[in-house]
Structure 1
Amino acid sequence: MNMFDMGIIPTMARTLRTLALGFRDLLLPRGCAGCDAPDEVLCPRCVARFDGAHIRSLPVKGKTCCYACARYEGASRRAILAWKDHGDEECDGAFACCLARLALKVIKVIDTNQTAIDDVQAMPQIAGMPDIRGMRDVLLVPAPSSPASMRRRGRWQMAPLAKRTARMLNDSGVRTRVCPILRLEGVRGRSVQTSGSLARSKRIQGHVRAVGAIDDESALVVIMDDIVTTGTTMGQCVTALRAAGARHVVGLALACTPVRR
């Protein structure tokens, strides 16, 4: 049995990483990703900004909604951009906590070994929430990123967020697993460079596909994304997941852009 099989090398690597991060924070103290408050990844005031439940209808057939933690403005916008475009991976944990809290507000789980979650019992029924009585599992599906985006950022940023959120939901008694089956292929240009809902829809039309099938029709499938603007990307994800066998689909996002009337 070698040192890797015994777990010694992975343990040493984690210890060295922890020490390196400690020295970095000592020499270069960080600030809050949203407001630059000292010695905070996301300060309590900015965390509170992500404690909402903003509803956005999705442009798909049938009544399907997305629920966002915050509005994409001010400190919330700065925090997401620091995480998404400037590599602030320390925000993974803070954002996963925000998404898990929102999930507990909008997911009602009835399992053979448990009753509905207490947090949901205390919340009013949210419009557009699917009827999931008898549901066994929750499947978290990270919204896809294009290969060019993943090369630019060095990772599929929603994947680690989905894993952390699933871990927190499982710890809260919600039987959850990550199902990363969506892919975005053949898309050119960045979504922020495309203006208008019609242009955004045409940009990704037919480019979102599922590489596997949903193996549990009674599961609640939750699409996780960072920002919802027009809802076209998440709507395409809903369509792809329904084609893959999903019956109950809902969206979850860190933020949604304010609706301009």
Structure 2
Amino acid sequence: MAILLFFIGIWYFSLFSQTFFQHRYAAHGSFTMSRFWERFFFLFSYVTQGSSYMSPRAYAIMHRMHHAYTDTEKDPHSPSFSRNIFAMMWRTRNIYVDIVKGRYPVEERFTKGLPEWKSLDRWGNSFLSRALWVLLYVAYFWLFATSFWWFLLLPIVITSGAFHGAVVNWFAHKYGYINFKLKNTSRNLLVVDVLMLGESYHNNHHKHPSSINFGRRWHEIDPVYPIAMLLKWLRIIHYVKPVEVLPHRPA
């Protein structure tokens, strides 16, 4: 039970960091926050993502490229140009590392308004940081796993950020349903998305990339949206523009 609770906690906390801070905030600027809260969510992302920590700056650049070049060879993670999901993950990883190290040619339009904390990013992306997190995870599994089979969850824990991205960027460009006819292969993977915290509404997101609410139809629950509304009420974040009122769309 301890391993299962740990796995669920890692899954959702790391996914929340990715979708709330790196995706909706850094990549799309769906809302603003003060420097204090930006640093807070930097640290929150580092702690919750651990060995799979992603630089918000590098993530945002890569994701903006994905929107600009969807389904083309310049797309950092397109199923159309990788043999399988693991090849896509490796290609994405290489592009990410090159962006972090300043080796990847990035267009200026992708670098505007990005959050940055160089020292934290340098540490979070270091081999030592990732190795220490992996050792911590292995120690936890070693102490609390009641069966060898629990260790099958360990690779997902270690690579949680990459795993989340791969699920959406591979499967949501191959399977699911479409709300909006777009010039790309994006689809909505899940009908009710409590597994990926709204990230699987990929077709909706490609239609309205800066919307803070990824859901469009009445059954499309985006669990992050009410959290964002609470944070707005608490004056921790501020919407850049009023959130549009979304009509119900027939199935």
Which bin holds the TM-score, normalised by the shorter protein?
under 0.3
More strand by share: 1
Higher helix share: 2
Considering only CA atoms, is the larger Rg found in Structure 1 or Structure 2? 1
Tell me the TM-score normalized by structure 2. Answer: 0.28
TM-score (norm 1): 0.27
